[in-house]
């Protein structure tokens, strides 16, 4: 499976003749399994109609910052948040200049400013324009900010000239885009992740569980695999597809999760506990279905082992990351948990009404001894990539192996 599978790609199209190739690019992105939304500048619509991109992407095209109907359907901030990556193809000299200035006078420029997703540009322009000192200064400024430039290639141009300035072919753009996710930050590392809820049986047909969907843990496992790690994902009962290149071990109870983790952890570089492990299990599980005889029924619960604390207590131990879902005093409770369980890093998130469990997005407060970083509200896949980047950074700081940051953000 390509690393573009299920990725949300926001494709920006600006006004150049290569815009026709962006239509083929849209088709190829969808073939690779990506979801594509297209935003076009006014000039781009002079070359190809929004209808073409609507048909190819399967969604209405975004063209206007001030269109109340489009904003009501999916507002520009929502669209900026939706994206796992933003690719502007073709990208004109003018659009590069506008990006350098941080202009937000049309929808696409605004989206580029508003999104935390990595930004890639596929420049396409006349060779003289590409070679001009102004364009050179602009691309250097953009590269400095972590924007990825894909191409241009050299060859014959639509304007009749030959030289550097042709937009890369869709195939090469796809490969360049996939590299935004495959950062290599955790190359050669072994990572163990727990995810989902656990189920603690009461009798053969009933159990105690919780509302964890497993989404955060699966996103973390996927991000770690994309960053080059060898990943073992130990999952409670969830309805999620296994991410590509991840070894999945399915478990039901906390005791099974504990055993699976202890088996996987020796030799691991990183342990990330995202699972919502049941704190208690039922003492003396009934061998047969319990009949409803009495008006009340008493269940006696026994404490489950703390998997995270047990891994942290091992010697030698991996870099240990815990999660803290809190309904109040987030930072205070998370810091206390970081110290008490002896963790290297804790990711705290607020839970409650419509927040945290079973939702698509979340926000995280990352804490470690002497440090803190806020990851504002975003889709769990984005947060997972940002978390993996911070883990790689902290791991590098602790082991002295600094991993070069190839991109602006994960």
Contact 276, 210 (CB under 8 A): yes
Instruction: Return the structure tokens found at 67.
Output: 């269109």
Instruction: Return the structure tokens found at 99.
Output: 């990006």
Q: Quick one: 7 or 394, whose CB is closer to ligand C5P?
A: 394
Residue 123 to residues 24, 137, 145, 173, 338: CA-CA distances in angstroms? 16, 14, 16, 11, 46
CA distance 163 to 2: 32
In the complex, minimum distance from the CB of residue 268 to ligand C5P, in angstroms, rounded to a whole number: 14
In the complex, minimum distance from the CB of residue 333 to ligand C5P, in angstroms, rounded to a whole number: 8
Instruction: Return the structure tokens found at 89.
Output: 């193809």
In the complex, minimum distance from the CB of residue 277 to ligand C5P, in angstroms, rounded to a whole number: 4
Q: Quick one: 279 or 358, whose CB is closer to ligand C5P?
A: 279
In the complex, minimum distance from the CB of residue 278 to ligand C5P, in angstroms, rounded to a whole number: 7
In the complex, minimum distance from the CB of residue 312 to ligand C5P, in angstroms, rounded to a whole number: 10
In the block, tokens 């047990």 appear at 310
Binding site for ligand C5P (CB under 6 A): 194, 254, 273-275, 277, 279, 304, 306-308, 322-324, 337
Question: Which DSSP symbol is given to 95?
Answer: H
Q: Quick one: 120 or 348, whose CB is closer to ligand C5P?
A: 348
Cα 314 from chain centroid (whole Å): 30
159 a catalytic residue: yes
CA distance 254 to 133: 62
Q: Quick one: 22 or 254, whose CB is closer to ligand C5P?
A: 254
In the complex, minimum distance from the CB of residue 400 to ligand C5P, in angstroms, rounded to a whole number: 27
Q: Quick one: 87 or 308, whose CB is closer to ligand C5P?
A: 308
> Considering Cα of 297, then 298, then 302, then 304, what sign does the dihedral take?
positive
Q: Quick one: 175 or 240, whose CB is closer to ligand C5P?
A: 240
* 94-100 LR contacts (CB < 8 Å, sep 24+): 94/14, 94/15, 95/12, 95/14, 95/41, 95/121, 96/121, 96/123, 96/135, 96/138, 96/139, 96/142, 97/134, 97/135, 97/138, 99/138, 99/142, 99/147, 100/138, 100/141, 100/142
Contact 235, 217 (CB under 8 A): yes
Neighbours of 302 (CB within 10 A): 10
Given the residues 91, 112, 159, 363, select the one marked as catalytic: 159
Active site residues: 159
């Amino acid at each position: 499976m390509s690393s573009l599978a299920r990725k949300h790609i926001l494709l920006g199209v600006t006004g150049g003749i290569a815009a026709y190739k962006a239509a083929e690019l849209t088709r190829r992105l969808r073939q690779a399994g990506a979801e594509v939304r297209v935003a076009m500048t006014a000039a781009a619509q002079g070359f190809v109609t929004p209808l073409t991109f609507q048909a190819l992407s399967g969604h209405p095209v975004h063209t206007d910052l001030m269109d109340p109907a489009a904003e009501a359907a999916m507002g520009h901030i929502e669209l900026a948040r939706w994206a796992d990556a933003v690719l502007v193809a073709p990208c004109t000299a003018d659009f590069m200049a506008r990006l350098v200035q941080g202009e937000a006078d049309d929808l696409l420029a605004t989206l580029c400013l508003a999104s935390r997703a990595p930004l890639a540009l596929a420049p396409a322009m006349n060779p003289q324009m590409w070679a001009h000192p102004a364009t050179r200064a602009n691309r250097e400024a953009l590269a400095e900010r972590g924007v990825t430039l894909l191409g241009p290639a050299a060859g014959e141009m639509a304007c009749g000239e030959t030289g550097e300035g042709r937009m890369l072919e869709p195939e090469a753009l796809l490969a360049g885009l996939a590299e935004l996710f495959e950062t290599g930050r955790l190359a050669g590392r072994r990572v163990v992740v727990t995810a989902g809820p656990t189920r603690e049986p009461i009798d053969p047909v009933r159990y105690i569980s919780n509302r964890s969907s497993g989404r955060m843990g699966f996103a973390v496992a996927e991000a770690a695999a994309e960053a080059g790690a060898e990943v073992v994902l130990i999952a409670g009962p969830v309805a999620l597809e296994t991410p590509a290149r991840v070894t999945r071990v399915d478990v039901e109870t906390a005791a099974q999760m504990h055993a699976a983790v202890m088996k996987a952890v020796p030799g691991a570089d990183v342990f990330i506990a995202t699972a919502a492990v049941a704190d208690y299990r039922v003492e003396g599980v009934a061998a047969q279905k319990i009949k409803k005889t009495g008006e009340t029924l008493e269940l006696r619960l026994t404490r489950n082992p703390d998997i995270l604390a047990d891994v942290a207590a091992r010697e030698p131990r991996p870099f240990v990351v815990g999660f803290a879902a809190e309904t109040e005093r987030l930072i205070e409770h998370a810091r206390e948990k970081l110290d008490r369980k002896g963790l290297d890093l804790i990711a705290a998130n607020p839970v409650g009404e419509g927040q945290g469990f079973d939702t698509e997005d979340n926000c995280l407060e990352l804490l470690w001894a002497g440090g803190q970083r806020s990851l504002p509200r975003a889709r769990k896949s984005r947060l997972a990539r940002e978390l993996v980047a911070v883990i790689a950074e902290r791991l590098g700081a602790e082991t002295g192996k600094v991993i070069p940051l190839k991109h602006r953000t994960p």
